[in-house]
């Protein structure tokens, strides 16, 4: 059975071929979009569609037997429900005047809402994690800036202290220098006195 035959098979039940075609297109589109986005589409009694990740692996070319590396990929997978399996295996008889897949019981159709809630919760958790990472990054940056400022201030303080010590040393040296000069000037006076004393001794002789 192809798509056209499927449309013909349900045309009388949904009120015409066009309505059946629209219904089939809508159902298939919803299943494909949900599966591609990573959601699991489950129909009670029929089966479920889901997206499966296949890791990279090695395979063999059936024509040449050559070993080929297959890249990591994602594939859709359908798992038949227990009711579907029972009908195919013959455990249960296919009803003649009723639908093969029974309608879901009341309350079970709220699965879409729960799925939406889970998705919303995941998004909220992701946002919180991102916000937490940004906060930690900001705190780390602020801490680095603070440490850098403290280090710069400490260096400036040390430089100022060193400059103050040099200034004090220069002042002390400047104060001591005049005392040495005065001592140097007094020395010739002593020599002159010695000469005068020697002259007096010579004259007295």
pLDDT digits (tens, 9 = 90+) for 169-203: 777 766 665 544 444 455 555 565 666 666 667 66
pLDDT at 123: 61
Helices (H) and strands (E) in the chain, counts: 4, 5
With both helix axes pointing from N to C terminus, report the angle between 3-14 and 17-36 in degrees, rounded to the nearest 10. Answer: 120
pLDDT (0 to 100) of residue 124 = 60
Confidence at residue 64, expressed as pLDDT on a 0 to 100 scale: 92
Model pLDDT, residue 113: 43
**Contact assessment for residue 43 and residue 109, using Cβ atoms and an 8 Å cutoff:** no
Site of tokens 């850098």: 148
pLDDT recorded at residue 79: 94
Q: Looking at the predicted structure, is the pLDDT value of residue 61 above 60?
A: yes
* Tokens coding 81: 């429900």
Q: For 74-84, what is the mean pLDDT? A: 93
Beta bridge partners of 67: 60
- Greater confidence, 139 or 30? 30
Query: What per-residue confidence (pLDDT) applies to 21?
Result: 94
* Total Cβ atoms within 10 A of residue 49: 18
**Position 37 confidence tier, pLDDT thresholds 50, 70, 90:** very high
Q: Is the pTM of this model over 0.85?
A: no
**pLDDT, tens only, 134-176:** 766 777 777 777 767 776 777 777 777 777 777 777 777 666 6
Distance between CA atoms of residues 187 and 190, nearest Å: 5
- Does 198 or 99 have the greater pLDDT score? 99
Q: Residue 75 above 70 pLDDT?
A: yes
The larger pLDDT score, comparing residue 48 to residue 167, is at 48
107 or 53: which leads in pLDDT: 53
Domains plus CATH for the chain? Answer: 3-129 (4.10.520.10)
Phi, psi of 15 (to 5 degrees): 95, 35
């Amino acid at each position: 059975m192809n798509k056209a035959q499927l449309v013909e098979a349900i045309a009388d039940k949904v009120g015409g071929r066009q309505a059946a075609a629209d219904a089939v297109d809508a159902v298939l589109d919803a299943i494909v979009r949900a599966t591609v986005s990573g959601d699991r589409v489950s129909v009670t009694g029929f089966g479920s569609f889901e997206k499966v990740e296949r890791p990279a692996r090695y395979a063999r070319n059936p024509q040449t037997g050559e070993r080929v590396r297959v890249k990591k990929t994602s594939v859709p997978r359908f798992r038949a429900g227990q009711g579907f399996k029972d009908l195919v295996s013959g455990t249960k008889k296919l009803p003649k005047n009723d639908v093969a897949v029974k309608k879901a019981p009341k309350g079970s159709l709220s699965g879409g809402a729960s799925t939406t809630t889970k998705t919303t919760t995941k998004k909220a958790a992701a946002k919180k994690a991102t916000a937490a990472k940004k906060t930690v990054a900001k705190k780390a940056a602020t801490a680095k800036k603070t440490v850098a400022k403290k280090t710069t201030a400490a260096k400036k303080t040390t430089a100022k202290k060193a400059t103050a010590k040099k200034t004090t040393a220069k002042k002390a040296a400047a104060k001591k220098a005049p005392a040495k000069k005065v001592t140097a000037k007094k020395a010739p006076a002593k020599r002159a006195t010695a000469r005068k004393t020697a002259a007096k001794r010579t004259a007295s002789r």
